[in-house]
Structure 1
Amino acid sequence: MRKIEPEILAQKIKDGDRFALSRAITLAESNRLDDLNLAHQIISLLPTSNTSKRIAITGIPGVGKSTFIESLGKYIIQQGEKVAILAIDPSSSLSKGSILGDKTRMEDLSREEGAYIRPSASNGSLGGITSRTYEAILLCEAAGFENILIETVGVGQSETLVNEISDLFLFLQLPGSGDDLQGIKRGIMEMADLIFVNKSDSFQEKLVKDAKLDIVRSLQFLPTKSSQWKRKSIIGSGLIGKGIPELWELVNDYFSFINENNYYSTNREKQQLKQAERYTIDLINQQYLKALKDQPINLNKNISAFDMAKDWLNNHSIKISIK
């Protein structure tokens, strides 16, 4: 395999080379430490963005996330801006590969010059997103994509991680789904900055109005967000583009608000520190996995598995050295 020169790949990314961008993201998603180091060498050579919009989009399966994102992405491009979609697919439990393939579900958007779509497997990540999405965001921003849309697997309780690497959390809901969402709705609603009731064209008018009323009532009982932004909801349809212009106006209002009160910059700093913690845990984990492979735990039938683990740790001093 030909050696990758970080300086050359970084310059190609800055020049808008899509293949170079995809190659760098592939390196960042690798489980190999050498590849991850190389990816971060490339990132260090690239400009950072202080004006980008990182927007997480989630919702229960069947809410129409991909159709909605395609409609929103096309609208953003019509405004003369570029958009990158990091569509996180569920992984196959055997191959760890993506089993959906979002480019096939966003055919029109994928043909747009101002759009970049990156399907990526979640690899069983609890947060619903691949553990290296943060690097993918940085790389896309360096390539000139100021709007980053992150579509998650939409499993409800496990969307916390995506909230920790985004600026705005957008929750998609269906009319008439209130009862089905009771178990997960409060947690998601607390994270949400905007709620979009999708597929309004496919439901009776009463259901749509009831959904709007249900959301308004729910928002009254939620704690104030750290950003001090008051959560807002809108009704529309990704399929026919209804409500998309109004939604994008709210998105811009939100970013103006958090820039004025400095939440945008302070939140980004917190995200960077949180990511540093994740890197620390990941790197230590890799060191211990290597040590376990070299020096396996010996079976002791007289003690529990937990005690065997403690004995192994007490008897093996692992020197943490990361190059």
Structure 2
Amino acid sequence: MEIDTLARAIAEGDRRALARAITLVESGREDHRAKAVALLEALKGTGREALRIGLSGTPGVGKSSFIEAFGLMLTEKGLKVAVLAVDPSSARTGGSILGDKTRMERLSRSPAAFIRPSPAQRQLGGVARRTREAVALCEAAGFDVVLIETVGVGQSETAVAEMSDLFVLLLAPAGGDELQGVKRGIMEMADLILVNKADGALEAAAVRTCADYAGALRLLRKRPEDPEGFPKALTVSAHTGAGLAEAWAEMQALADWRRAQGHFEARRAAQAASWFAAEVREGLLARLTRDPETRARMTEMTERVRAGEMTPEGAAAEILAEL
């Protein structure tokens, strides 16, 4: 399909064209990359804007269940919802399960929803390398809300905050102890902390956990882009739907306040600049590996490092000096 034809189909909301475009931007082939850049440039003028919500959480916290319940609630309100789910890739084989559509069976059948799983591959930060471009494509296709689900929580799983308007951290009841090591990396970036599974026998534990995190949030330094009371912690239940409407109301209130204060556009501008710098770095590394002379020199220096003839630092310094 020609780029102009594909761009028109995406702008008209064609889901098959959107899926094809995301496959194109995720491709590592050089000719596909050129087409992907042309497609993104062609769609830049649509002027459409979705609310980008990043979502992270510990494994087993119920991210997929929450997204399905939350997404169904939004579609019932007449909103179009796109879900970009990033699956962890095997360090041995490089493969990913990509099973999020089966986890979100009801949401995947909704005509107002679009679910796209993508492999993380070797990308750190909990997102795939081209997730930001997939977000831009979903916006151009007319989706109102884009949910970006990361592979899981950790010190490096904060890259999603660099491509979203709101960053939501999903926690399980009584899960504080195992999160001590990641609090500083994640909690400082979270706009909203949602304690899931607040139903049945776990409801009391969820309320206590929510109170604990609300207290911890008060100890963090207030950010200039937050109104009074944010970030805040709430309880939700993906099983019963309790708290989902309240969480959505808080997200809307925060987004509206940031728009009114000018923080929303400033945040997006800073994110665009950050991803521009990242794209330049990735492009430079790709060019180095494609150049035959540099590749041969890298192989030679690698063998010298393996043999103990040079330190890794010395070999790297010599390669960089030659460049």
Fold shared, TM-score > 0.5 on shorter chain: yes
Residue from 106, 114, 117 that aligns with 1:116: 114
8 Å CA contact 1:90, 1:124 repeated in 2: no
Distance (Å, rounded) in 2 between the aligned partners of 1:132 and 1:226: 29
8 Å CA contact 1:92, 1:99 repeated in 2: no
Equivalence for 2:16? 19
Distance (Å, rounded) in 2 between the aligned partners of 1:205 and 1:283: 49
Equivalence for 1:225? 223
Per-residue deviation, residues 71-124 of structure 1 (Å, max 9, x unmatched):
010011011110000001111234433224100100000000000000000113
Equivalence for 1:237? 237
Residue from 203, 208, 211 that aligns with 1:210: 208
The answer to whether structure 1 residue 308 and structure 2 residue 321 are counterparts is: no
The answer to whether structure 1 residue 44 and structure 2 residue 41 are counterparts is: yes
Distance (Å, rounded) in 1 between the aligned partners of 2:314 and 2:210: 54
Superposed CA RMSD in Å reads 1.7
Aligned-residue offset at 1:22: 1.0
Closer, same or farther: CA 49–255 of 1 in aligned 2, 3 Å: farther
8 Å CA contact 1:48, 1:138 repeated in 2: no
Distance (Å, rounded) in 2 between the aligned partners of 1:159 and 1:186: 12
Matching residue's letter, 2:147: L
Q: How does 1:121-132 map to 2 (within 5 A)?
A: 121-132=119-130
SS state of the match for residue 195, structure 1? strand
SS state of the match for residue 180, structure 1? helix
8 Å CA contact 2:124, 2:156 repeated in 1: yes
8 Å CA contact 2:196, 2:206 repeated in 1: no
Per-residue deviation, residues 154-205 of structure 1 (Å, max 9, x unmatched):
1321122111110000011111111221111232111111111100114344
Matching residue's letter, 1:32: R
Residue from 139, 148, 151 that aligns with 1:150: 148
- Provide structure 1 residue ranges, at least 5 long, that are not aligned to the other structure: 318-323
SS state of the match for residue 199, structure 2? helix
Q: Which of 217-226 and 142-151 deviates more?
A: 217-226
Per-residue deviation, residues 227-258 of structure 1 (Å, max 9, x unmatched):
12321221120122111111111111111111
If the length of structure 2 is used for normalisation, what is the TM-score?
Answer: 0.92
- Provide structure 2 residue ranges, at least 5 long, that are not aligned to the other structure: none
SS state of the match for residue 169, structure 1? strand
Aligned-residue offset at 1:31: 1.7
Aligned-residue offset at 1:7: 0.4
Closer, same or farther: CA 48–266 of 1 in aligned 2, 3 Å: farther
**Which contiguous aligned blocks of 4+ residues in structure 1 show a shift greater than 6 angstroms?**
none
If the length of structure 1 is used for normalisation, what is the TM-score?
Answer: 0.92
Q: Which of 296-305 and 14-23 deviates more?
A: 296-305
Closer, same or farther: CA 297–51 of 1 in aligned 2, 3 Å: closer
Q: How does 1:25-36 map to 2 (within 5 A)?
A: 25-36=22-33
Equivalence for 1:168? 166
Aligned-residue offset at 1:48: 4.5
Distance (Å, rounded) in 2 between the aligned partners of 1:21 and 1:74: 21
Closer, same or farther: CA 101–212 of 1 in aligned 2, 3 Å: same
Aligned-residue offset at 1:208: 2.5
SS state of the match for residue 8, structure 1? helix
Closer, same or farther: CA 311–209 of 1 in aligned 2, 3 Å: closer
- Percentage of pairs with the same residue: 42
Matching residue's letter, 1:293: R
SS state of the match for residue 233, structure 1? strand
Distance (Å, rounded) in 2 between the aligned partners of 1:149 and 1:77: 13
8 Å CA contact 1:14, 1:144 repeated in 2: yes
Q: How does 1:50-129 map to 2 (within 5 A)?
A: 51-129=49-127
Equivalence for 1:290? 290
Distance (Å, rounded) in 2 between the aligned partners of 1:164 and 1:254: 17
8 Å CA contact 1:297, 1:308 repeated in 2: no
Matching residue's letter, 1:242: A
Matching residue's letter, 1:288: L
How many correspondences in the alignment? 313
Distance (Å, rounded) in 2 between the aligned partners of 1:305 and 1:197: 45
The answer to whether structure 1 residue 260 and structure 2 residue 265 are counterparts is: no
